[in-house]
Amino acid sequence: MKAIVLNRKLAEGIESVDISLPVLPSDEVRIEVKSASLNHRDEWCRQGKYANLKDGIILGSDASGIVVEVGQDVDPKWIGKEVIINPASDWGANPDVQSKEFKIMGMPEHGTLAEFVQVKSNRLHSKPDHLDWDEAAALPLGGVTAYRALFQQGNIQAKDQVLVTGFGGGVAQFGVQFALSLGAKVFVSSSNDDKIQKALELGCSGGFNYTNEKWTEKAMSECGGFDLIMDSAMGDTLNNLIKVTKPAGRIVFYGATRGNSTGFESRRVFWNQVKLIGSTMGNDSDFENMLNFVKENKIVPLIDRVFDFEGAVQAFDRMKEGKQMGKIVIKIS
Ligand SMILES: NC(=O)c1ccc[n+]([C@@H]2O[C@H](COP(=O)([O-])OP(=O)(O)OC[C@H]3O[C@@H](n4cnc5c(N)ncnc54)[C@H](OP(=O)(O)O)[C@@H]3O)[C@@H](O)[C@H]2O)c1
């Protein structure tokens, strides 16, 4: 089967290879992949900035497809079913934090950027009927990350005024859609005015270009700050987020694209009783709750662009350059 694997010896960092189909263990199913989508972790892997990297591993955490074979211990009713995959496994017993065994498909174990992928049957979920193959492939990792960040960790309420930073991001666009569906008043930040315009068309109440140094003043004068902020940039933007958080507000962050924060404004945090909360992907109930929420509210992932298999390097480059508005999808078959 053809697959996209990590190869850090190449300038591109990835390559398309032909590998033989692995033997199917008794508790797994084989899926013919229709579409796969990228997450920033795939690009971090390509750049060598992820833990436990191994060349030759198939990248990718998200896919939609059809079950074509089941192991001997798996119910054969799965054969022919249209599915998506929960890419996380071994969360463990504590719903508040993942175990040491927690892992995500696509590194250090094989992922979804291949003609076939095999997973344990308990990672399967039916593809939501209202989504096509590309949209369904865009959902799992970004969807569960945004869901846990907002609902579980951020305790979002319909009365909240919410800021989702970096709206162009694959996770962020879910955050915006989920918060809007709940009925919250939602604002975005972005480096790109066209992306802000897209957020307004979706129903957001405002947007701020974070490359403008005065965006925090504009935000405060337009809406008086936020009860809840969802962010994955961190770095030196954290102090700006603290400035625009209402007293007793929450900042949930699930990434650190801009690295660690320097000059942390601790006084403003303790005086204003601000809660700074970390979040990582989600446990199995977060995933199920996210899927139900997406189905009930007929949420459709925003897809930036669909590349064909041969365009994988261009797809990764687009993510590296931050040009995307939403999810980048690779059509596999
Ligand atoms: N903890 C977890 O479980 C988890 C899960 C998923 C992702 N992540 C992490 O979260 C981050 C985003 O992931 P993704 O897959 O959504 O990536 P992505 O699709 O590549 O999106 C990244 C977005 O970050 C925004 N951004 C960059 N610099 C920013 C800044 N200074 N302020 C505000 N926004 C900024 C940009 O938005 P604009 O284009 O609008 O400017 C960009 O589009 C990555 O660091 C990733 O590793 C963590």
> Considering only 26-30, 48-52, 106-110, 153-157, which range has the smallest mean pLDDT?
48-52
Residue 96: inside a domain: yes
Residue 285: inside a domain: no
Is 319 near ligand 1, meaning CB less than 6 Å away?
A: yes
Please indicate, yes or no, whether residues 47 and 95 belong to a single structural domain of this protein: yes
Q: 231 has which bridge partners?
A: 253
What phi and psi values does residue 185 have, to the nearest 5 degrees? -90, 115
Q: Whose CA is nearest to atom 37 of ligand 1?
A: 166
Residue 284: inside a domain: no
Q: Ligand 1 centroid vs 182 CA: distance in angstroms?
A: 22
Residue 291: inside a domain: no
Q: How far apart are CA 233 and CA 256, in angstroms?
A: 5
Tens digit of each residue's pLDDT (9 = 90 or more) over 284-296: 999 999 999 999 9
Please indicate, yes or no, whether residues 269 and 307 belong to a single structural domain of this protein: no
Q: Which of 213, 257, 258 to mutate to test the pocket of ligand 1 (most atoms within 8 A of CB)?
A: 257
3-class SS shares of the chain: helix, strand, coil, % to 5: 30, 30, 40
Q: How far apart are CA 285 and CA 293, in angstroms?
A: 12
Q: Ligand 1 centroid vs 75 CA: distance in angstroms?
A: 38
Q: Ligand 1 centroid vs 62 CA: distance in angstroms?
A: 16
Look at the chain and report how many structural domains it folds into: 2
102 is in which domain, residue-wise? 2-139+301-331
Q: 164 has which bridge partners?
A: 188, 230
Please indicate, yes or no, whether residues 159 and 243 belong to a single structural domain of this protein: yes
Is 254 near ligand 1, meaning CB less than 6 Å away?
A: yes
User: In this structure, what token pair is assigned to residue 228?
Assistant: 């809840």
Please indicate, yes or no, whether residues 82 and 124 belong to a single structural domain of this protein: yes
DSSP string for residues in 182-215:
HT-EEEEEES-HHHHHHHHHHT-SEEEETTSTTH
Tens digit of each residue's pLDDT (9 = 90 or more) over 44-83: 999 999 988 999 999 999 999 999 999 999 999 999 999 9
Tens digit of each residue's pLDDT (9 = 90 or more) over 203-244: 999 999 999 999 999 999 999 999 999 999 999 999 999 999
Q: What CATH number should be reported for the domain holding residue 76? A: 3.90.180.10
**How far, in Å, are 178, 185, 197 from residue 162 at the CA level?**
11, 6, 17
User: In this structure, what token pair is assigned to residue 91?
Assistant: 């969360």
Q: What CATH number should be reported for the domain holding residue 255? A: 3.40.50.720
Residue 290: inside a domain: no
Q: Ligand 1 centroid vs 39 CA: distance in angstroms?
A: 9
**What pTM did the predictor assign?**
0.98
Q: Which of 171, 196, 321 to mutate to test the pocket of ligand 1 (most atoms within 8 A of CB)?
A: 171
Fill in the DSSP letter of residue 192. Answer: -
Q: What is the pLDDT of residue 177?
A: 98
Is 251 near ligand 1, meaning CB less than 6 Å away?
A: no
Task: Say which residues have a Cβ less than 8 Å from residue 127's Cβ, sequence separation at least 6.
Answer: 64, 82, 83, 84, 133, 136
Q: What is the pLDDT of residue 51?
A: 85
